[in-house]
């Protein structure tokens, strides 16, 4: 176990001691490594470890981590095996979480378990199972009662919606440690408030009570940004005249929409997206065509990347939209070799592993499925996703346990009078739904000029 850091060893000990458990660990802390080592320790005489994860993570991190750890096992996908196949050697069997809605895939898993082929199960991205009523949750919770299960999640647990914690615990087969059922759980730890809708809120001290009960089989590791050595700066950039014109037209459109009798705040989602596009130097027109717009942000981004490359370093430029990547590509190709990463794609490791400066243009959403940025100290956020989890995941890729740099430096590019700064601030303070995000954006204040970034 020389390959493990202190927190990874502690997580491994806790999970194996209780014959399975939950690892709530921040991005980059080594969840994959802990999951593999603990699962194969729990298999006993059975050959197969089921790993239910996103398809985009089949190769990286799961297959690559098996190679890194030099585990003596084969890696297969469930599509590659027969319904009643028997295994005679250690196997990591990868299954896309999307297949949990397909009866045939469920029958394959059930057959493997019934024939004593499966020794343990890994549930990656445990937050996917936070809803106890979802079909995915029901399926994995049934399997977790039959085989030792290791649930891994890089998301911080919600203290407000305790059912999210209960959902992950029951998915790992440990729901009985908290309550007999969801109804019983709510009766013990939540209180309802009725009004125009019925909402559930934690009872005083409920969160701490829950954590005390699950402590024997869970490991929690979420160091603060200070411990992660993250340094953030915001670079403010003036709009061009062309951008100013588009922003003025957009505000006028939003003002007209907001005065309609049947106006709903959610309709402002389009306004936010269009404002981000204009800031990034392009806009999607009603007929679907893309029109490029002059943007100082592009010039600033290009200059920053050129300086980093000249210093002999690699850099990741994080984007909210795929079109951002297409917009930046011609400029970046003139500076250094460019790799791209978009959600669901396999990363070009041949290019990125070259011992020379390189650029990666990546969508923030793809930050959940790549482990090649541990040695990259520089990240530039050309534009931002609305999800707090995307920010957490993408930054975590630069601050993994095997990072050699002491500090990761992130620069956020914000155009003045656009919505860039509002998106950044709202993402920082909101970890909830899209509807809540739009509300917290206070978009109408921006439209009417009450608060200008």
**DSSP track, 88-137:** -S-EEEEEEGGGGG-HHHHHHHHHHHHTT-EEEEEESSGGGG--TTSHHH
Closest C-alpha among 30, 32, 11 to residue 22: 11
pTM (predicted TM-score): 0.68
Clarify whether residues 181 and 40 are in a common domain.
yes
Clarify whether residues 267 and 189 are in a common domain.
no
Banded pLDDT at 370 (limits 50, 70, 90): low
* Residue 1 in domain: no
Taking residues 63-86, report their average pLDDT: 86
Q: How many domains does the chain have?
A: 2
Domain around 285 = 226-447
* Residue 344 in domain: yes
Question: Is pLDDT of 396 > 70?
Answer: yes
Residue after which a domain boundary falls, among 171, 196, 222: 222
- The pLDDT value given to residue 50: 93
Tens of pLDDT along 412-449?
999 988 889 888 888 877 665 556 777 777 788 887 77
Clarify whether residues 192 and 234 are in a common domain.
no
Distance (Å, whole) CA 340 – CA 358: 11
* Residue 452 in domain: no
Clarify whether residues 280 and 424 are in a common domain.
yes
Residue after which a domain boundary falls, among 168, 190, 222: 222
Clarify whether residues 198 and 264 are in a common domain.
no
Clarify whether residues 350 and 201 are in a common domain.
no
Is it true that the peptide bond before 95 is cis, omega within 30 degrees of 0? no
Clarify whether residues 191 and 248 are in a common domain.
no
Tens of pLDDT along 207-257?
889 989 999 999 988 765 445 577 889 999 999 999 999 999 998 888 888
Tens of pLDDT along 144-193?
999 999 999 877 566 667 888 899 999 999 988 898 898 899 889 888 66
* Residue 127 in domain: yes
* Residue 382 in domain: yes
pLDDT > 70 in the chain, percent: 87
Q: Residues near 365 by Cβ (< 8 Å), separated by ≥ 6?
A: 342, 343, 385, 387, 390
Q: How far is CA 191 from CA 129, 179, 338, in A?
A: 23, 15, 53
Clarify whether residues 134 and 23 are in a common domain.
yes
Identify whether the C-beta of residue 61 lies closer than 8 Å to the C-beta of residue 27: no
* Residue 176 in domain: yes
Query: What CATH number is attached to the domain comprising 198?
Result: 3.40.50.10810
Taking residues 25-33, report their average pLDDT: 81
Query: What CATH number is attached to the domain comprising 393?
Result: 3.40.50.300
Distance (Å, whole) CA 178 – CA 404: 41
Taking residues 12-26, report their average pLDDT: 90
DSSP 266: G
Q: Residues near 33 by Cβ (< 8 Å), separated by ≥ 6?
A: 3, 4, 8, 65, 69
Question: Is pLDDT of 380 > 90?
Answer: yes
Question: Is pLDDT of 54 > 80?
Answer: yes
* Residue 94 in domain: yes
Clarify whether residues 203 and 249 are in a common domain.
no
- The pLDDT value given to residue 333: 92
Residue after which a domain boundary falls, among 196, 222, 248: 222
- The pLDDT value given to residue 349: 64
Banded pLDDT at 453 (limits 50, 70, 90): very low
Least confident span in 13-17, 291-295, 338-342, 378-382: 338-342
Clarify whether residues 350 and 244 are in a common domain.
yes
Clarify whether residues 211 and 332 are in a common domain.
no
Question: Is pLDDT of 383 > 80?
Answer: yes
Question: Is pLDDT of 318 > 50?
Answer: yes
Identify whether the C-beta of residue 419 lies closer than 8 Å to the C-beta of residue 384: no
Clarify whether residues 233 and 335 are in a common domain.
yes
Identify whether the C-beta of residue 140 lies closer than 8 Å to the C-beta of residue 129: yes
- The pLDDT value given to residue 452: 45
* Residue 322 in domain: yes
Taking residues 36-56, report their average pLDDT: 90
DSSP 62: I
């Amino acid at each position: 176990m020389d390959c493990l850091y202190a927190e990874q060893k502690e997580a491994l000990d806790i999970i194996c001691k209780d014959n399975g458990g939950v690892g709530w660990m921040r991005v980059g802390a080594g969840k994959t490594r802990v999951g593999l080592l603990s699962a194969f320790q729990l298999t006993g005489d059975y050959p197969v470890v089921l790993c239910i994860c996103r398809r985009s993570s089949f190769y990286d991190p799961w297959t690559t981590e098996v190679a890194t750890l030099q585990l003596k096992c084969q890696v297969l996908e469930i599509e590659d095996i027969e319904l009643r196949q028997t295994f005679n050697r250690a196997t990591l069997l990868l299954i896309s979480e999307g297949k949990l809605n397909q009866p045939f895939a469920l029958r394959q898993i059930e057959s493997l378990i019934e024939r004593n082929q499966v020794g343990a199960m890994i549930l990656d991205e445990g937050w996917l199972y936070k809803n106890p009523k979802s079909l995915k949750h029901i399926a994995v919770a049934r399997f977790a009662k039959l085989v030792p299960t290791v649930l891994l999640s890089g998301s911080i647990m919600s203290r407000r919606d305790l059912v999210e914690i209960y959902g992950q615990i029951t998915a790992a087969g440990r729901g009985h440690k908290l309550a007999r059922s969801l109804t019983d759980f709510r009766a013990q730890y939540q209180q309802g408030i009725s009004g125009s809708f019925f909402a559930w809120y934690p009872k005083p001290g409920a969160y701490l009570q829950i954590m005390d009960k699950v402590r024997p089989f869970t490991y929690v590791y979420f160091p603060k940004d200070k411990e992660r050595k993250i340094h953030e700066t915001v670079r403010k950039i003036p709009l061009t005249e062309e951008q100013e014109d588009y922003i003025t037209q957009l505000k006028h459109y939003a003002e007209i929409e907001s005065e309609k009798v049947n106006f709903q705040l959610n309709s402002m989602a389009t306004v936010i997206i269009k404002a981000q596009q204009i800031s990034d130097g392009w806009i999607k027109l009603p007929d679907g065509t893309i029109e490029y717009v002059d943007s100082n942000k592009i010039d600033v981004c290009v200059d920053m990347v050129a300086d980093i490359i000249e210093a002999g370093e690699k850099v990741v430029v994080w984007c909210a939209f795929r079109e951002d990547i297409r917009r930046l590509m011609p400029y970046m190709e003139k500076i250094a070799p460019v790799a791209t990463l978009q959600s669901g794609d396999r990363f070009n490791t041949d290019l990125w592993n070259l011992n020379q400066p390189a650029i990666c243009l990546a969508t923030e959403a793809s930050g959940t499925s790549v482990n090649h940025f541990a040695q990259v100290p520089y990240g530039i956020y050309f534009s931002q996703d609305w999800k707090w989890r995307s920010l957490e995941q993408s930054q975590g890729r630069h601050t993994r346990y095997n990072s050699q740099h002491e500090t990761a430096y992130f620069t956020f590019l914000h155009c003045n009078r656009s919505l860039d700064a509002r998106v950044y601030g709202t993402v920082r303070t909101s970890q909830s739904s899209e509807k809540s995000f739009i509300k917290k954006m206070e978009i109408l204040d921006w439209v009417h000029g009450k608060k200008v970034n």
